Amino acid sequence: MSRTCQISGKRAMFGNNVSKAINKTKRRFEVNLIKKKFFIPEEGKWINLKLSTRALKTINKNGVLSVLKEAKKQGLL
């Protein structure tokens, strides 16, 4: 699986390394991803998600069940 957030859909961005002499070489800006395990009490089971830290803050604020419903509605899960 690629380095993509399962909730927000964030992916790596591309850009340039720029030296002092203004030489440009391609580089990749990776997403800050973590693997996290969540318990869903309504279903009585655990799920594993690969999340960006921004999505983790959203889950802490709104709750895992509401965020999962929103992601399914958007077609990310």
pLDDT digits (tens, 9 = 90+) for 10-31: 999 999 999 999 999 999 999 9
Q: Which of 33, 29, 24 is nearest to 14 (CA)?
A: 29
Taking only the tens place, the pLDDT of each residue in 44-54 is 999 999 999 99
Q: Please state, in angstroms and rounded to a whole number, the distance separating the CA atoms of residues 39 and 21.
A: 52
Is 4 buried (19+), middle (13-18) or exposed (0-12) by CB count in 10 A? middle
Whether the pTM exceeds 0.75: the reply is yes
Q: Please state, in angstroms and rounded to a whole number, the distance separating the CA atoms of residues 53 and 69.
A: 19
Taking only the tens place, the pLDDT of each residue in 31-41 is 999 999 999 98
Structural domains of the chain ordered from first start: 13-74 (2.30.170.40)
Whole-number pLDDT of residue 1: 57
